[in-house]
Amino acid sequence: MWETLAQAVINGLLIGGIYALVSIGVTLIFGVVKIVNFAQGEFVMIGMYISFFLSSQFGVDPIVSLVVSMPVLFVAGVLIQHFLIRRVLGPNDMPQIFLTFALSLLLLNLALMLFTANYRTVHTSYSDEAFHLGGLYIPVAKLIAFVVAMGLSGALWIFLHTTDLGKAMRAASQNRDVAMLMGINPNRVFCVALGVALALAGAAGSLLMPFYSAYPFVGQVFTLMAFVAVVLGGLGNVMGALVASLMMGVAESLGIQFVGADSGLIVVFAMLLLTLAFRPTGLGGGKAR
Amino acid sequence: MTKDRNESVTNLATGQNQPFSKKQSRRRFLVKTGGILAASAFGAVPLRGWAAEPVNIGALYPTTGSMAQIGVGCVAAAKLAVEMVNEAGGIKSLGGAKLNLIVSDLQSDTTVTRTETDRLITGNKLSAIHGCFASALTLIASEVCERAKVPIITGSSSDQLNKNRTYTFTPFARASQFAKAQLQMAKLVGDKPKVAVIFENTAFGTSTSNGLKELAPGEGVEIVMFEPYSAGFTDASPLINKVKASGANALFSVSYLNDLILIVRTVKQVGLNVAINGGSGGFVIPDFYKNVGNLAEGLQGIAHWNHDMSNDAQKVNAEYKKRTGEFLFEYAGGLVAQTFMLADALERAGSADPQKVREALSALDVSTGYAAMAPGGKVKFGPDGKNVFGHPVGVQWQNGDLASVFPDEDKRAPLMKT
How many angstroms from the chain centroid is the CA of residue B336? Answer: 8
Q: Which of A116, A222, A262 sits opposite B68 (nearest CB)?
A: A116
A132 touches chain B (CB under 8 A): yes
Q: Residue A233 and residue A243: Cα distance in Å, rounded? A: 7
**pLDDT beyond 90 at A26:** yes
In a domain, B283, yes or no: yes
Number of Cβ atoms within 10 Å of the Cβ of A76: 18
Instruction: Give the C-alpha separation, A58 to B24, whole Å.
Output: 54
**Contact status of B265 with chain A (Cβ, < 8 Å):** yes
For residues B79 and B200, membership in a common domain is answered with: no
Following CA atoms B144, B145, B146, B152 in sequence, which dihedral angle do they give, to the nearest 10 degrees?
Answer: -140
Residue B416 lies in a domain: no
Burial tier of B11 (Cβ tally within 10 Å: 0-12, 13-18, 19+): middle
Would residue B46 count as lying in a domain? no
CB B131 within 8 A of CB B116: no
> Could you tell me if residue B50 is inside a domain?
no
Do B167 and B208 belong together in one domain? no
Output DSSP code: residue A82: I
- B226 and B100 within one domain: no
Domain-embedded: residue B351: yes
Q: How confident is the model at residue A284 (pLDDT cuts 50, 70, 90)?
A: low
Which residues contact residue B185 at a Cβ distance below 8 angstroms, ignoring those fewer than 6 apart?
B277, B300, B302, B394, B406
* Pair (B379, B400) in one structural domain: no
Domain membership flag for residue B49? no
For B331, the enclosing helix (H) or strand (E) is: helix B330-349
* C-alpha to C-alpha distance for A160 and B23, rounded to whole angstroms: 79
Three-state DSSP at B207 gives: helix
Interatomic CA distance for residues A143 and B303, integer angstroms? 37
**Can you tell me the distance from the alpha carbon of B230 to that of A263, in angstroms, rounded to the nearest whole number?**
8
Does residue B66 sit at the A interface (CB-CB below 8 Å)?
Answer: yes
Where do the DSSP E strands lie in B22-172?
55-61, 99-105, 126-131, 152-153, 168-169
Angle, helix B354-362 to helix B330-349, in steps of 10 degrees: 110
**Partners of B401 in the β-ladder:** B398
CA–CA min distance A125, chain B (Å): 11
Q: Are residues B183 and B272 in the same domain?
A: yes
Do residues B278 and B316 both lie within one domain? no
Same domain, B203 and B330: no
A257 touches chain B (CB under 8 A): yes
Residue of B nearest to A111 (CA): B65
pLDDT for position B418: 67
Say what the alpha-carbon torsion angle A119, A120, A123, A124 is, to the nearest 10 degrees: -130
At A62, which amino acid appears?
A: P
Return all residues near B371 (Cβ < 8 A) that are at least 6 apart.
Answer: B337, B340, B341, B343, B344, B364, B379
| CATH number of the domain residue B196 falls in | 3.40.50.2300
**Stretch (H or E) spanning B254:** strand B250-254
Give residue B259's pLDDT: 85
pLDDT of residue B31: 57
> Which pLDDT belongs to residue B26?
54
Same domain, B336 and B284: no
Comparing CA positions, the residue from A184, A146, A181, A145 lying closest to residue A164 is: A184
Cis peptide, bond prior to residue B132, ω within 30 of zero: yes
* Residue B368: other Cβ atoms inside 10 A: 10
pLDDT digits (tens, 9 = 90+) for A75-102: 999 999 999 999 988 778 888 889 999 9
Q: State how many domains chain B has.
A: 3
Q: B277 and B403: one domain?
A: yes
Report whether B287 contacts A120 (CB < 8 A): no
Cβ distance of A260 and B269 shorter than 8 Å: no
B393 forms beta bridges with: B303
Report the SS3 class of residue B411. Answer: coil
Q: Which residues of chain B have pLDDT under 50?
A: 1-23, 35-49
pLDDT at A278 over 90: no
Q: What's the 3-state SS for B84-95?
A: HHHHCCCEHHHC
Contact yes or no for B308/A168 (Cβ under 8 A): no
CB contact under 8 A, A261 and B228: yes
Give the Cα separation of B320 and A80 in Å (integer).
47
From chain B, the residues in CB contact with A130 under 8 A are: 269-271
Residues B215 and B99 in one domain: no
- Compute the nearest-CA separation of A135 from chain B (Å): 9
Q: What's at B85, amino acid-wise?
A: V
Say if residue A73's pLDDT is above 90.
Answer: yes
**CB atoms near residue B96 (< 10 Å):** 16
Query: Is B418 a member of any domain?
Result: no
Q: Does A262 touch chain B (CB under 8 A)?
A: yes
Same domain, B206 and B266: yes
Taking the Cβ of residue B285 and every Cβ of chain A, the question of whether any pair is shorter than 8 Å is answered with no
Q: For residues B357 and B225, give the distance between their C-alpha atoms in angstroms, rounded to a whole number.
A: 48
Q: Is residue B229 part of a domain?
A: yes
pLDDT at residue A50, as a whole number: 96
**Same domain as B294, residue B224:** yes
A116, A219, A216: which is closest to B70 by C-alpha?
A116
The pLDDT score that the predictor gives to residue A263 is 79
pLDDT for B403: 94
Contacts of A109 in chain B (CB under 8 A): none
Range of the domain at B147: 55-173+311-387
pLDDT attached to residue B9: 42
Candidates B156, B117, B133; CA nearest to B77 is B133
Q: Do you find a cis peptide bond into B407, omega within 30 degrees of 0?
A: yes
Strands B126-131 and B152-153: parallel
Domains and CATH numbers, chain A: 2-118+132-278 (1.10.3470)
Helix (H) or strand (E) segment spanning residue A179 = helix A176-181
Residue in B235, B243, B265, B295 to test binding to A, most A beta-carbons within 10 Å: B235
**Contact partners, residue B368, CB within 8 Å, separation at least 6:** none
Q: What is the pLDDT of residue B45?
A: 45
Which of the two residues, A11 and A119, has the higher pLDDT score?
A11
CA-CA distances (angstroms) from residue A6 to A135, A143, A250? 10, 15, 10
Choice among A33-42, A193-202, B7-16, B136-145 with the minimum mean pLDDT = B7-16
